[in-house]
Amino acid sequence: MDFGLSEEHHMVQRMVRDFAVKEVAPTIQEQDRLGEMDPQVLPRMAELGILGITIPLKYGGQGMDYISLGLACEELEAVDTSLRVVISVHNGLTCLTLLQWGTEEQKNKFLVPLAQGEKIGCGAFTEPGAGSDLSHLQTTGKIDGSCYILNGEKMWISLATAADYAVVTVRTNPKASKAYQGLSTFLVDLHSPGISRGDLHGKLGVRAGSTGWIAFQDVRVPAENMIGKEGEGFKVTMSAFDSGRYTVAAGATGLIGAALDASKTYADQRKAFGEKISDLQLIKAKIARMSLDYQAARLLYLKAGWMKNKGLRNTRETSAAKWYATEASFQAASEAVQIHGAYGYSDEYPVERYLRNAKGAMIYEGSNEIQSLIQADYALERRQDKKLRKESPPYDHESWT
């Protein structure tokens, strides 16, 4: 494996970093206090091509590889998690799912405007009574002529009120011998009759991002909007999670880096007992751990990205990257608050926001408890990857351009 980054990778880093630092960082603290998403964030990300970064040019995207996607997520979350969440749900859960499982007609009709940022997408999987356990989804989809009629509710959906489309997994066959075999996935127009949605407030973190609920009451969805085949909803959803978890892992790595940078800056300025606290051994130990965790988390997500570029199944590697990076980001943010002392406990410095934001990533896109079970099953050789009907397409710059 080549550990070097190409000039294109460095270009992506610079472009995304400049956007996040210059256009978002100056106001993010106030947006977080208000609990509101800056209305200019999505249009600017679309204008810069970030919303379609890994989608082939022929489908309206930028044609860049998965390493570029990871680097973009890292740079976005170094400023605020809400920025990376946009990429996770719009690009990871929506665009890449359509790229992998969609028909040519679906790609031309839906993927093109999504990749260009003319439309916004989200993933609607979690329900009030079912999160990581997809087999207990209660939202139903019943065939009625050329349409499926959806009824149910999805909860904790990022971009719920900002999105135009949602990738929605529902139960189409309640009599299936195994519960997960009765699931199917659709791309749903969120402006359809029968859909209501709203924002959730009072969140611990990611306050500058949109999180909400979506309710379906006799919503008619054309059968042609089914992603994959009937009964393949579990496979489609799990492959979507592979993409989403990859972006979460890369973003959490950026949060570790942000906590590290903030801690180094503060420790070099703050004095105690007549010397800079950066000279104190216990502070050095905290900073050393952050530095090590940053390097390890980065290598884990870069390996997963390399495998995605090759079109290789990466469920194990992506799960490990998500698990490690999110655990490490929470620890790094906690230590950053400790290094800042009383100032870290206030929003005068960004580290308290890092800590609040870091906790969410340990829960969504499959809780870290689920990731630990996945890793245990691989280690015990009780889990093996089977070839999907449609593997994630490898990165091929020539064919994509």
- DSSP string of 86-137? HHIIIIIIIIHHHHHH--HHHIIIIIHHHHTTSS-EEEE--BTTBSS-GGG-
φ and ψ of 4, to 5 deg = -85, 150
C-alpha span between 52 and 272 (Å, rounded): 48
Give how far Cα 313 sits from Cα of 96, 157, 238, Å.
14, 26, 12
Specify burial of residue 177 (Cβ count, 10 A radius: 0-12, 13-18, 19+): exposed
C-alpha span between 398 and 401 (Å, rounded): 5
Which residue bears the tokens 């390399």?
A: 306
C-alpha span between 92 and 113 (Å, rounded): 15
Which residues are catalytic, by number? Answer: 365
Residue from 50, 95, 43 nearest 70 by CA: 50
Q: Tell me the Cα Rg of the chain.
A: 21
Whether the CB-CB separation of 157 and 127 falls below 8 Å is answered with no
